[in-house]
Amino acid sequence: MVFGNMGEDSATGVAFTRNPGNGENNFYGEFLVNAQGEDVVAGIRTPAPINDYSKNAQSKHLPTLEALMPEIYKQLDGYQKRLEVHYKDMQDIEFTIEKGKLYMLQCRVGKRNGIAAVRMATEMYKESLIDRETAIMRVGPNQLVELLLPMLDMKAEQAATPIAKGLPAGPGGAKGRVVFSTETAVEWASKGERVILVREETSPEDVDGMYMSQAILTSKGGMTSHAALVARGWGKCCIVGCGDIEIGIEHKFFKAKDGVTIHEGDWISLNGTRGLVYEGSLSLVDVDLDDNKSYKELMKLVDEVKILKVRTNADTPKDATQALRFGAEGIGLFRTEHMFYGEGSEEPLFLLRKMIVSKSETERRQALDDLFIYVKKDIKETMTIMDGHPVTIRLLDPPLHEFVPHDRAKLQLLSKELGISLNVLRKRVLALHENNPMLGHRGVRLGVSYPEITEMQIRAILEAACELTEAGKKVFPEIMIPVTCTVNELKHQRAIVDRVHAQVCDKVCKTKVDFAYGTMIEIPRAALKANHMAIEAEFFSFGTNDLTQMSFGFSRDDIGGFLPNYLDQKILRADPFQTLDQDGVGELIRIGIERGRSTRPNLKVGICGEHGGDAESVKFCHKLGMDYVSCSPFRVPIARLAAAQAAIEAKQ
């Protein structure tokens, strides 16, 4: 046992061989003269910096270890360099100085946030300290989330004056209503409030409240305090050691240095990257990854190694643009129905409704002809943005009744616009009602009942592709039929596709437009009969949202009522809609791929359910020999990294 509290020639400290907050290759640490180790972590005294580099706003006036005990600092610096070269990773070092003699207590691989992990991995690779594979394995796919974290809008920040400054312990931006206790944080956050937990310091009893908060702000403590370590581990926005605020815990307020008083429930905003606290609710923006050199270098290594392709689920041209920036290699799922939601959808939605409530094929065809223009425009725009990358366009999937209004006022408006009586319209809408629409008249079943709906969509896809090809653009549409369970459905729809294709090639297009024809596999029967499905389908895309729903018999929309009990009682390990159930649903996928490729060896296989962006599930897809995963734009970098790690793990 050695003691750091034996007088002014004794001290204790914690240091990192590189900065765990941003990854910079600089020796970084804190120490306290005449103190024991727990005094540094407890955050009761403000620790001093070991060197000039480690100075911050709170500690800049304190003498450094380098200045106070230069010989000992030199010795410590020599050890830290040797330790990092020996262990080939950033080390977290604890040391004690007893009566002028340095003792190394322990060292271990240091925890770091995502930003630091990416920088350290790429820089250590460039320094030849580690190889490419090690660099890729060093970053947890979910750590990339931190690089994609929202930040405070720069303009809003420039226009505001910070009311306090503390230590930037957890990067990113956050805003929320101030709470002063873990109980209130949990209570308010459970009701959907965004909260920021403000404490003098935190302890393990605060973990629930910290978890539920958008961010954490403490008035005491250093970069190695409890709040800083926990928040860093989670990648949560956090400011510690904010001595500019004085907390009146009894009366639930804090007072900032310049006199501003913030009460419980008031909004504040934090810049965790710079340690700044603002009064009010500033807007948040997404970060610009283009500025992050280390991220780009890591992704270059990732792309050299990964085998699995990563596509995106994009429903709008805006999503497609975003996904390309994140490195998507195509669109794995373009849900056509999304053009009927949101901004600018009034006219196409009206035409769709007109089509839905039509009573004859002639009426329906008239509405479809009008709708065609919008569908073609949307598809053409998206294919233009994707610039030659494959685009999988799924035909209309949801049950039609989802698109018709049900309240009186909206029905009245529609009846007027359609020129039919409210009564007649009501009857037609009522006829669409289903007790279980998720298992009802949706997906390919719509195309079987109303072939003209398929026809219109195929014409829109092929004409768009044809016009782009003739304009010198590269396009590759993949036509995907949803919710199939038998190869006969695929044969039925293929006949329509071939007929329209011949018409388009004959009348519209001088060049022959190419496409691929495939299906989603989202019904267990389709997976089991995959050898038959692959006779018609040139590609499979596993729709694991529906496949999970139909394998478990859990309704996607109603799982909230019982899932918490299943998780609490450990009947299920995880929510199967988030993490792919590899044992059950995964087995169906394995069978589907095996049987599909037994008929068509070059069958292209992907996944487009939510699991396509979950790192564990991506690794599983790699093991099963899929060609690609497809996920939402923001999950693309995570999936790319997971795919590279899967390739490395498979070799090992």
The residues that touch ligand PEP, with contacts defined as CB under 6 A, are: 333, 335, 397, 522, 543-546, 608-609
Q: How many residues touch Mg ion (CB under 5 A)?
A: 3
**Rg from Cα positions in the chain:** 30
Of 296 and 445, the one with the shorter C-beta distance to ligand PEP is 445
Interacting stretch for Mg ion, rule CB under 5 A, among 153-161, 287-295, 453-461, 545-553?
545-553
Q: Tell which residue, 514, 506, 516, has the closest CA to residue 468.
A: 514
The nearest distance, CB 549 to Mg ion, in angstroms, is 8
Residue from 546, 581, 610, 614 that binds Mg ion (CB under 5 A)? 546
Provide the minimum distance between the beta carbon of 336 and ligand PEP in the complex, in angstroms, as a whole number: 11
**Of ligand PEP, Mg ion, none, which one does residue 333 interact with (CB within 5 to 8 Å by kind)?**
ligand PEP
Nearer to Mg ion by Cβ, of 172 and 613: the residue is 613
Q: Which does 608 bind (CB under 5 to 8 A by kind): Mg ion, ligand PEP, none?
A: ligand PEP
Please give, one letter per residue, the 3-state secondary structure of 202-247: CCHHHHHHHHHCCEEEECCCCCCCHHHHHHHHHCCEEEECCCCEEE
Cα(278)–Cα(281) distance, integer angstroms: 8
Measured CA distances, 109 to 17, 218, 221, 399, 572 (Å): 10, 26, 22, 53, 33
Among all residues, which ones are annotated catalytic? 226, 608
CA gap 296, 303 in Å, rounded: 11
Q: What's phi and psi for 517, nearest 5 deg?
A: -120, 125
- Find out whether 647 and 625 touch, Cβ atoms under 8 Å: no
The distance of closest approach from Cβ of residue 315 to ligand PEP in the complex, given in angstroms and rounded to an integer, is: 10
Q: Which of 209, 399, 543, 596 binds Mg ion (CB under 5 A)?
A: 543
| Residue 261 CB partners (closer than 8 Å, separation 6+) | 253, 254, 255
Task: Identify whether the C-beta of residue 181 lies closer than 8 Å to the C-beta of residue 147.
Answer: no
- Tell me the C-alpha to C-alpha distance, in Å, between residue 544 and each of 454, 478, 498: 23, 19, 29
Which one, 210 or 333, has the nearer CB to ligand PEP? 333
Choose the contact partner of 335 out of Mg ion, ligand PEP, none; CB within 5 to 8 A by kind.
ligand PEP
CA distance 96 to 100: 10
Q: Which tokens hold the place of 457?
A: 């969509």
Q: What is the Cα–Cα distance from 613 to 639, expressed in whole angstroms?
A: 5
Q: At closest approach, how far in Å is the CB of 313 from ligand PEP? A: 7
DSSP 562-606: THHHHHHTTSSSS-TTTS--TTTHHHHHHHHHHHHHHH-TT-EEE
The interface region with Mg ion, picked from 270-278, 289-297, 398-406, 537-545 by CB under 5 A, is 537-545
Phi, psi for 433 (deg, rounded to 5): -60, 140
Which stretches within 289-360 are classed as H helix? Answer: 293-305, 317-325, 346-356
Draw the binding track, 496-535, toward Mg ion (x: CB under 5 A; -: no contact). Answer: --------------------------x-------------
Residue 177 to residues 174, 216, 341, 399, Cα–Cα distance (Å): 10, 11, 32, 40
489 binds, among ligand PEP, Mg ion, none (CB under 5 to 8 A by kind): none
CB of 206 to Mg ion, least distance (A): 41
Give the nearest distance from C-beta 397 to ligand PEP in angstroms: 6
Contact partner, 29, from ligand PEP, Mg ion, none, Cβ < 5-8 Å per class: none
Q: Which is nearer to ligand PEP, 14 or 480 (CB)?
A: 480
**Angle at CA of residue 446, ends 442 and 452, nearest 5°:** 155
Sign of CA dihedral 120, 125, 128, 134: positive
Residue 157 binds which of ligand PEP, Mg ion, none (CB < 5-8 A, kind-dependent): none
Distance CA 209, CA 214 (A): 10
Contact status: 612 vs Mg ion (CB under 5 A): no
SS (H, E, C) 523-567: CHHHHHCHHHHHHHCCEEEECHHHHHHHHHCCCCCCHHHCHHHHH
199 binds, among Mg ion, ligand PEP, none (CB under 5 to 8 A by kind): none
| Closer by beta carbon to ligand PEP, 14 or else 453 | 453
Q: Which is nearer to Mg ion, 173 or 609 (CB)?
A: 609
Half-sphere exposure for 376 (CA within 13 Å, toward CB)? 18
Shortest approach of ligand PEP to residue 394 CB, angstroms? Answer: 8
User: In b/e form, how buried is each residue of 334-361, taking b as 16+ CB within 10 angstroms?
Assistant: bbbeebbeeeeeeebbbbbbbbbbbeee
Closer residue to ligand PEP, CB minimum distance, 364 or 611: 611
Least separation in angstroms between residue 637's CB and ligand PEP is: 20
223-226 CB contacts, 8 Å cutoff, 24+ apart: 223/21, 223/30, 223/56, 223/167, 223/169, 224/14, 224/30, 224/40, 224/41, 224/47, 225/41, 225/42, 225/43, 225/169, 225/201, 226/41, 226/42, 226/43, 226/201, 226/202
Toward ligand PEP, which CB reaches closer, 167 or 585?
585
Choose between 36 and 345: whose C-beta lies nearer to ligand PEP.
Answer: 345
Residue 307 C-beta: closest distance to ligand PEP, Å: 23
- Whichever of 329 and 522 has its CB closer to ligand PEP, that residue is 522
Nearest approach, Cβ of 90 to ligand PEP (angstroms)?
40
Positions in the binding site for Mg ion (CB under 5 A): 522, 543, 546
